[in-house]
Amino acid sequence: MWPTDCVQGTKGADFHPDLNSNAADTIIRKGTNPKIDSYSTFFENDRITPTGLVGFLKERNVTSLTLAGLATDFCVAYWAIDAVSQGLT
């Protein structure tokens, strides 16, 4: 597993203070099980537990995404693979 980072309730998990999240429809949480790493934004790494993002996007008829991130070989890759597996492009 990766080193501990972005732990709920710590400064490392806070949104940047300049980010205006007031207009956000929802906030998708992942990595809520401390025994499972979480790379994808769609599913926990058990590949079973959904984050709710799929339903959120489908309810809004979203079919295409633009992905960005730092850990392309893990988080972004898992996110992209899961997006395609859910019928998104």
pTM for the full predicted model: 0.76
pLDDT, residue 59, reads 95
Strand partners, 43: 50
Q: What tokens were used for 28? A: 């998708």
Rg of the chain on CA atoms, in Å = 14
Q: What is the CATH number of domain 1-89?
A: 3.40.50.850
For residue 68, name the pLDDT band (cuts at 50, 70, 90).
Answer: confident
pLDDT, residue 30, reads 84
Domain ranges of the chain: 1-89
Average pLDDT score over the chain = 86
Biggest alpha carbon–alpha carbon distance for the chain: 36
What SS3 class is residue 43? Answer: strand
Query: In degrees to the nearest 10, what's the CA dihedral of 22, 26, 27, 31?
Result: 170
Higher pLDDT, 31 or 22: 22
How many CB atoms within 10 Å of residue 69? 13
1 has pLDDT over 60: no
pLDDT, residue 85, reads 93
Give pLDDT tens digits for 35-57: 887 888 899 888 888 999 999 99
